[in-house]
Amino acid sequence: MNKEIFKKLYKKYQPKSIQIMLLVSFSIAAFVSMITLTIVLYSNFENRSRNVSVATGTWMLENTEDDLNRFLDNMRQVSSSLFLSVQQQTEIDSEKLLNEFSLLYRATQNDVISIALFEANGNLITASPYDKLKEDSDVTKQDWYINTIKNPGKILFSTPHVENLFSYSNDNFSWVVSLSRTVIFTKGGQTRHGVLLVDIDYASVCRIMTGINDTGLNQYAYLCDSDGNIFYHPENMEIALRKYNEVTAGAGKNAAGNYVQNIDGNTYNITVSDIDYTGWKIVSVIPYIRLAGSSSYVRYFVILILLMILLAILIMNKVIAARIARPIRMLTTSIKNGTVTDTSVPRIYIGGSSEVRYLGNTLQKLLDQISVLMHSILIEQEEKRKSELDVLQSQINPHFLYNTLDSIVWMVESGQNKEASFMITQLASLFRISLSEGRTIIRVEEEMRHAISYSNIQKARFKNSFTIDYDISDEIKDALCVKLIVQPILENAIYYGVKGMEEEGHIDVRAYKDNDDMYIEVEDNGYGIPDDILENILTETGRKSARGSGVGLINVDSRIKIRFGKKYGLIVTSELDEGTCVKIHLPYIPYTEENQKKYEKIITE
């Protein structure tokens, strides 16, 4: 079924010319090559682009990681420095500590919001730059404090939070990362535990992270705690507003390393790194879809280039195909436009490649031969008709001559010398025109004289049992006419029309011009011709069923057509008991020597 449909479709859409075949073939070949090349190059470009992006991203991540570790290490050193200051004092001295805290704060104030030392019960020993806690402030309830107490001896980094310990003079609230550790000091001669706090400005952490997120590369990085909870993200607020969802959020739970994950149909290159001592993780994400090779922009660009090349290929192929196919098209056109006749042969296009030239030459020879053959056939046909006419005339003449001479003898014997003399004169005229010096084309006047002579002889023979009128227009008397075309028709009108009629038979012979044509009509009021005979009277079928000189009609018709073309010839109309009219249709051609010679030779198709 499918095969049939395919066949039908192929038949319907198969290329109909060699040019289209060439165009389609060239275009398909070029397009397939181009697509293959593009896919290979694009794939290569995509891989290279991805590798470069991943390498650059990894390098950026390592730099950021180093920056962050360096920064946090500095903060740890600040904390350690404070720790040593506290430890070195045999008895805690708030004033002295405040000086040291203030000094260190001033040195680090770009990155530090506050420094403070608390007793284990939450009482503030000293702090810088603020020395007073907010009213009702309870440090022991703060998460970072609780964690520090739970982990004595460890340096802990909290996740970012809003600092809410001290009273500020302005309306600002600071986001901080609390760096805290337990500390042992002596107060009032007793060893006591406390907590040392360095509130790091979270903006400093953000600045370091902004470095990797603002590179313009298709990479972003976020920070999360060891449980994978994100606390820094370039789209932090969008996440808070639920306008953005980090699809790789779970990646922070993974151990440090590089992962390629497919999430919701998109592939991500995820690199997880641990930040020293903090329990934080930095997660770098490179969505492949954003990479140069994978982006829609590059795809649009590649498709655009492909389309433009395809357009150029099509136009070029069209030109090339037209150039290659041109000689064949011209050859075909020259064959289509020309018609081979016995007298003319179309000139076949001979050009282009040697193969096409050979084809053209061969065709031309063939057509020339066909024309020669056609001409020979026509000449043979004419010769055949001539011989037929000659046979017919040779059949008629002795019989006609015998009857005429018999009539003349009878006239002489009965003393009708005058009538006998007229008969002999008419007979002589008849034979003179019949001979016509061997011409086939004579004047209408001569042809009509021949007809009149014939009719006069027949009228005498049949004792004027019929009448005959001639109405010959003067303007056609000097026109060309095929010899002996009226006499056979008259003979038919006499023998098969009016002969033996009870009433008086009558024949009208009219000859006249109509525009560029002329007509000779022979109309009798005789018996008429039955329809079945009339129908085929001028055909080969009619020839077989024709009686006697009925053969003459067909001969006359053929001879006219051979000379003047198929447009001309006989038109026979008849009605039973009413009569028959035979109309001879001829072109009006003035009789000149030149025309006579021309039509004497011409034999049309």
Partner 1 sequence: MRKLLQSEENKGFIFLIIFLLFAIAVMALLLVNYDSNGEEYKVSVIVNNARSSRWDNLRAGIQLALADKNVDINFVTSDVYGNINIEKQLVEKEIKNGADALIVELCTSADTQEIIRSASDKVPIAFVETSAEAPKSTGKSIGFYTADNMQLGRDLASLVFEQNKDGNMTIAVLAGNQEMNSMIDRLSGFDEIMGEYGLKDFIVYEGSEINFEESFNQKELIPDIIVALDSELMENAVTWKKTNENNEYGKVRIYGIAASNANLKDLDNGYIESVIFVNDYEMGYMAATGLMEKLKSPGSDLEDGTSSYIVADREGMFDSENQMILFPTNYLIK
- Measure the CA dihedral 315/318/324/328, to 10°: -160
The answer to whether 270 and 257 are in contact (CB under 8 A) is no
Q: CB nearer to partner 1: give 182 or 317.
A: 317
**Per rule CB under 8 A, is residue 203 in the interface with partner 1?**
yes
CB of 222 to partner 1, least distance (A): 10
Q: CB nearer to partner 1: give 145 or 591.
A: 145
Q: How far apart are alpha carbons 125 and 597 in whole angstroms?
A: 147
Closest CA to 370 of 334, 351, 330, 343: 343
CB of 125 to partner 1, least distance (A): 23
Q: Give the up-direction half-sphere exposure of residue 309: CA atoms within 13 A in the CB hemisphere.
A: 15
**Per rule CB under 8 A, is residue 496 in the interface with partner 1?**
no
- Of the candidate residues 23, 270, 444, 489, the single one contacting partner 1 (CB under 8 A): 23
For 264-347, strand residue ranges (E) read 266-274, 281-287
Q: How far apart are alpha carbons 69 and 73 in whole angstroms?
A: 6
Long-range own/partner contacts, residues 265-271 (CB < 8 A, 24 or more apart): 269/50, 269/54, 269/57, 271/57, 271/58, 271/61
* Those residues with Cβ within 8 angstroms of residue 241's Cβ, 6 or more apart along the chain or in another chain: none
Q: CB nearer to partner 1: give 148 or 159.
A: 159
Q: Helices 550-564 and 354-413 meet at what angle, rounded to 10?
A: 140
Q: How far apart are alpha carbons 286 and 261 in whole angstroms?
A: 10
Binding mask 158-197 for partner 1 (x = CB under 8 A): --xxx-x--xx--xxx-x----------------------
Looking up tokens 């030239």, which residue turns up? 357
**Per rule CB under 8 A, is residue 297 in the interface with partner 1?**
yes
Handedness of CA 287, 292, 296, 299 (dihedral sign): negative
**Per rule CB under 8 A, is residue 20 in the interface with partner 1?**
yes
**Per rule CB under 8 A, is residue 240 in the interface with partner 1?**
yes
**Per rule CB under 8 A, is residue 234 in the interface with partner 1?**
yes
CB of 331 to partner 1, least distance (A): 18
- How many residues bind partner 1 (CB under 8 A)? The answer is 45
CB of 23 to partner 1, least distance (A): 7
Q: CB nearer to partner 1: give 145 or 568.
A: 145
Task: Enumerate the H helices of 414-443 as residue ranges.
Answer: 417-435
Instruction: Give residue 183's identity as a one-letter amino acid code.
Output: V
CB of 212 to partner 1, least distance (A): 12
Binding mask 303-342 for partner 1 (x = CB under 8 A): xx--xx-xx--xx--x------------------------
CB of 288 to partner 1, least distance (A): 17
**Per rule CB under 8 A, is residue 136 in the interface with partner 1?**
yes
CB of 132 to partner 1, least distance (A): 12
**Per rule CB under 8 A, is residue 35 in the interface with partner 1?**
no
Binding footprint of partner 1 on the chain (CB under 8 A)? 16-17, 19-20, 23, 134-136, 160-162, 164, 167-168, 171-173, 175, 202-203, 206, 209-210, 232-234, 236-238, 240-241, 243, 296-297, 300-301, 303-304, 307-308, 310-311, 314-315, 318
